A and B are shown apart, each in its own frame.
Chain A
């Protein structure tokens, strides 16, 4: 029993906590935070509009319920408090971007995101896009994401002097990326398997996707979607592709060699969803980009070297001019 537990523990530690450079995590931090503060963070005007035009929440989310229970409603759910929380989050985001007091900054940014998304979804309308990214930001705030490529690292090196290495290594530098990978696999699998359990193989009959694409296309005014909804053969192929992608995304966990190709597939999948049906899963695109660039630090440079060495290799003898 103890031997089995020890083996499990070794496997667990080897999976989540390998000693690696912190550079990748820092790169992921910079991409994630920049995208969040300059692109994805919920707008303040929309939040205040919801707040001032509703006397109460119709379906309050856990964080909203918690805050409303422990604090007077007027203290936190007022336009002035929202403005303060918004700007504190933005300033914390900028600090996290440059890596100043990185953990605290990341935590404040994450709190701001969770708070505003929870508030947005407390009025009878809940969506999924922000979920994996919100977890990823929370994980970053608990990791050494500021150990490299940050003002924190620069200040530490100044204190220590020339002895300090510019490439910090840590056994805690990989788990946030792995968590994002596991989490995406879980959510895709859940979505895919639900389609098969609820809709059965008929989900891939083409008519199903024609239905969804047509209603979204009309509702959101997307000419490409309206045209595609009239092409049944393409809808059959897209239906098979959707089920295959969602249900088997988790294979990237088991076969790391093919994972980058699946991440690239994820980026194309969500771009397709956006341009055909208007589904704004930008956070999923971003997480797949982050995993593609930073999960396996060697994959991208290796592909680049392969590409450039192929281009530079001399022509075979006999074919040269």
Chain B
């Protein structure tokens, strides 16, 4: 595993986990992709409200990291958190129902897209304000170290300029907390290229805190998984916080109101050739000899699952205000 202080990912291949496991990773990424497309379609029909931030193109990050976590580990995500939720095993129907504002949603319709919480599946929260995931994970690590658990924070490269990032890195490093900070660098903070607003480079900053850091190809789920496995093991062993910079790209705009016109010409097409799903397909065909038809069948199954979820979600009941809006305090 190459360690680097620059933001250029090291070229490498990661070991196979066996055909069944490898196909499962592919399926999970497909689940996220089709889920996000379903959300997008429902948003355009006015059924998902407010705004949503889609993870399309970045699926390898969530799936690769989640695959190495155990029952005592905890994850904090951002407003672009649907992928992380699904990768942790959150029920797609309950997650979709939450987007649709239904009573059957993960949070009863109270949280919406940006603030999903599912403690049963180890998701302590998705935070609508940048930096929240880093701080929540720092706290989770403080608690979970008692039982040998590790906390993971997902955030984007924009967060590395935020006060939360520096305070939490330092705090965790000083206290040797078992937290793995995963920066999913998709090159743009909202509409701004990250180099325009970032002095120096991200990996170098983290290294200056004495925290082990690694920059990887975030579109290869096996590369992500391998890096996460090593980082989580080090953190769990008491070596303190770890940092992974996962280079990736989002295929759609920052949010639903952003057509992405600020991208450099040709950039989207180049990254689409590195689509995590295509990378996975190629590897599955190459390593395990799986046919395109076999892989298409997985896609069809996932697609059908989400189509059915959309229908069920639209038929699910809204929470009834007559039953009260909810309690302020726990008694």
Q: Do A and B come from one complex?
A: no
